Chain A
Amino acid sequence: MSKVEIKHLTKIFGKRPKAALKMVKQNKSKNEIVEKTGSTVGVYDINMSIEEGEIFVIMGLSGSGKSTLIRLLNRLIEPTDGQLFIDGQEITNLTKKQMLSIRRKKMSMVFQNFGLFPHRTLLENTEFGLEIQGVPKAQRRQRAEQALDNAQLLSFKDQYPNQLSGGMQQRVGLARALTNDPDILLMDEAFSALDPLVRGQMQDELLDLQANVQKTIIFITHDLNEALRIGDHIAIMKDGQLQQVGTGEEILTNPANDYVKTFVGDVDRTKVLTADSIMIPALTSNISVDGPTVALRKMSAEEVSGVVAVNRHRQFVGYLSSEATVSARREKLPLADVVVEMPTVKPDTLISDIMPIIYDAQTPVAVIDDDNRLRGVIIRGAVLKALADTEGDSDDNA
């Protein structure tokens, strides 16, 4: 038996749901339905099942109905039609009161903008779910402190949310959701409001957490990379309807329809096969100014083992590896003395010409223009990926 079972779930907003429902069945477009009936189709005829302990990602562009879907799961939005089972129990026909206990015991939610209560301290925020259930104060305090401790935020427990960074606030949001010890964690674009670096960290933390606690996590995102990184299964939605459900691999290799194909392609354009289409911004060190210590600091900050050396006009000089920089610092040499050769290509070089160069190179390949200025670097993975894509659909002219 699946943890969550969804059958023909439909939600139509507005005054004339019946008429709108009829039009959806005739495959009319969203805009047409709004014009005719004044009703909006939130989601239509969703069928899927979610297994215990998996991270199930629901993807789609904004307006695709993914946020509506997740709110239908805990009935913050009442469905127009269809059924929803959790652990085999149908919850679409529960009374308000029974629904409260489902929300208190079985599901917790994490929000895109954190949804923390500004007038409560972190501790008071974290214990909110238990407070609502009437758990005695000492007990709920202890559990909330434990959850905050797991999120490494215990020392901030008496602060208010507005005194914290976004990443910290979202950890509190997650801690608040986990304090209830729910079976199911609903995450509505939980990391979308964070900056990319913190976002990556949070994704890792979520994966670590999942390895420990084995919750069923329903995760909403519009970011394919995020979905591929954390999702066991991925569902792609468009205009309130489900396009495809599968593992990341299945969706990339067997897109069910054109929409999924372009959706997946849109996220990562590698169809234009020149160097500048696959290069990434280079990490540089201006060796006419920087010393070894600064260079090392840059490497550790960006978690790389080497940077591209340039002069003060941003002209390419060579490659600076971390080992060479360390030895330069030890022997008090200027950086210019430890720079090594590095293969270079022009921006309009074709990928097929870059292939042999990149096989032999110990370092990434630098892309430089006619004035010897550095434009970016190419790393091995990007080339391989580009090649894999072109083999799949060489007749694609996107």
Chain B
Amino acid sequence: MTTHNLINIPKLPLEDWVSGFVSWLTTNLSGFFNAIQQGGQAIMDTITSALMAVPMPLMIIGITALAFAMTTKKYGFPIFAALGLMLIANQGLWSDLMNTVTLVLMASVVSLIIGVPLGILMAKSSKTAAVVQPILDFMQTMPGFVYLIPAVAFFGIGVVPGVFASIIFALPPMVRMTNLGIRQVPVDLVEAADSFGSTTWQKLIKLELPNAKNTILAGANQTIMLALSMVVTASMIGAPGLGRGVLSAVQHADVGSGFVNGLGLVILAIIIDRFAQKFNTKPGQKAPLKPWRRWTIVVALLAIVAGGTVNAMTTSQTTGQKINIGYVEWDSEVASSNVLAESLRQHGYDVTLTPLDNAVLWQSLANNQVDVSVSAWLPNTHKALYQKYKNDVTLLGPNLKGVKTGLVVPDYMSVNSISDLTTQANKTITGIEPGAGEMATAEKTLKAYPNLSGWNLSSSSSGAMVSALAKAYKNKQDIVVTGWSPHWMFGKYHLKYLADPKNTFGSSETINTIVSKKLKSSDPKAYQVLDKFHWTKDDMESVMLEIQNGKSPKQAAADWIKKHKKLVDSWYQ
């Protein structure tokens, strides 16, 4: 890239400054960040397990009863709540829903705790307002994705950074509306309060906050909705919940599953929104709730709490060894990670599968937040990441050999080598996630071949790449994609790799298992198993195709394990 500088100023090292600042923060405040990470994680786990402890039917009935008791004259909302929640449960998204509720709840509560006082300060002091206002604009317009990066640097992966990013993104309306609400209190009321000798504090509590209540609640509502919208983004760094389903659907271009998970979010958003509006009454029109409504609310809440408690006391927690497998949402890795996870589960492990972006995955392995990944493509594809983290992770060696990566075209195209490419496919290579190792290789390839000058590499996701391929294939159009095997697309379409005379894609690739530095000492048995884990390209492709044909990854993995008992048992000897 060449930029034409109008004025001859050398490029400011802005990126270096920001990175330097963040890494300085990370090193100097690591204790503080860890405390937040652990405390936050503990709180979130408590909330989630409390929500999960409540039996699903009881929760649905309870929420419907609440909806019924809090709305007057209308049956629409309670019926919607009941049907919506039943649909979510029916689609098997209940635990995802509870995780999402936890995340939204936490982000909203923290935003409220930070936002209201900040809004009050802004309203009371024009100087503060002048400073905070541009910061809020900055926070609100900066794409939510950007917050994920420092969030990972500070807190690693999981739900805490998700909450952190959501808070930064969702906080502004809370602050703004609080400020606005307090400033909008009519001046003669403020004068009246002053003329009776109210202190600033009395004025705030007795006049300003009650009068600003509606505006503040409107802000809270916006904050909740923004936190909800961040759920999907936050799932890229391992925040569990409905967002994960949406993200995974995007990466696999799976319309159905994306819609269902999205619908779950919509139902949740509407329910939260309607409940929030119930608290928004104007002064002087307080219609006191009828006693039976009040009793219904009390009873419903008590029933939910009691049900949760009873359930939590009677069900024993599984106390298997915990292991956290990180993976990227590529079809190959979905297959291998699920097979490994399923086999570990059958041997009594408590397995967590965390889908992450590739770069984040390596970083999480390096700081011991993820125990293992079976998706390191070496020596070429993930070369850059391996160089960066090789001292902080343990490489256990290949789990699958005979891997190939390269540029792939449909076999009806006449080109056979990368050096033959001229103007095909609009001079575009259709790629995958920008952070993927293969994309770095493809960039290198563009530079290495003179005939590719003027070509560009467009990034999307693995799923979108396959969709684009399918569409072009159907219409017999030119397309060049970044491909790799094992992949089910080679079973479904007639494709070919382009020859790579300059060997930029490397010749022999393997998929490797990498584990965190601490695993050997903390769980030697698992370390042994992971060291032995291996299978073949055909094994993997069979699982991939099953998943592609509509089986759930878990089911496909279990079926494969049943058929290959001998091989699987060999990992555990």
Contacts and interface: CB of A to CB of B under 8 A. Distances in A.
Interchain residue pairs A-B with the least CB separation, the first 5? A160-B284, A119-B283, A103-B197, A115-B192, A104-B197
Interface stretch (B41-49, B167-175, B205-213, B344-352): B205-213
B211 A112 contact: no
Given A103-B197, A132-B198, A111 B284 contact: no
A100 B197 contact: yes
B197 A119 contact: no
A129 B202 CA distance: 11
A118 B195 contact: no
Interface string B188-203: 1101111111110010
Question: How many of chain B's residues touch chain A, expressed as a range?
Answer: 20 to 34
B155 to A, nearest CB: 41
Contacts of A117: 189, 192-193, 206-207, 210-211
A128 B196 contact: yes
Given A160-B283, A161-B284, A163-B284, A115 B202 contact: no
Given A119-B211, A160-B283, A107 B189 contact: no
Contacts of B207: 117
Contacts of A103: 194-197
A72 interface: no
Given A100-B199, A108-B196, A115 B284 contact: no
Given A117-B207, A131-B206, A180 B196 contact: yes
B196 A104 contact: yes
Nearest to B207: A117
Nearest to A104: B197
A383 to B, nearest CB: 43
Given A112-B188, A131-B206, A132-B202, A119 B195 contact: no
Contacts of B196: 103-104, 108-109, 128-129, 132, 180
Most chain B Cβ neighbours within 10 Å, of A74, A102, A115, A116? A115
B interface secondary structure, majority: helix
Most chain A Cβ neighbours within 10 Å, of B189, B193, B197, B284? B197
Interface in A24-76: 71, 74, 76
A162 interface: yes
A133 B198 CA distance: 8
Contacts of B186: 113
A129 B207 CA distance: 13
14 contacts: A76-B191, A109-B192, A111-B191, A111-B192, A112-B188, A115-B188, A115-B191, A117-B206, A119-B283, A128-B196, A128-B206, A129-B197, A132-B202, A161-B284
A180 B192 CA distance: 13
Contacts of A113: 186, 188
A234 interface: no
A133 B197 contact: yes
Nearest to A162: B284
A189 to B, nearest CB: 11
Interface in A331-347: none
A271 B197 CA distance: 49
Contact of A109 (B195, B198, B199, B202): B195
A118 B189 CA distance: 9
B405 to A, nearest CB: 67
A74 B195 contact: yes
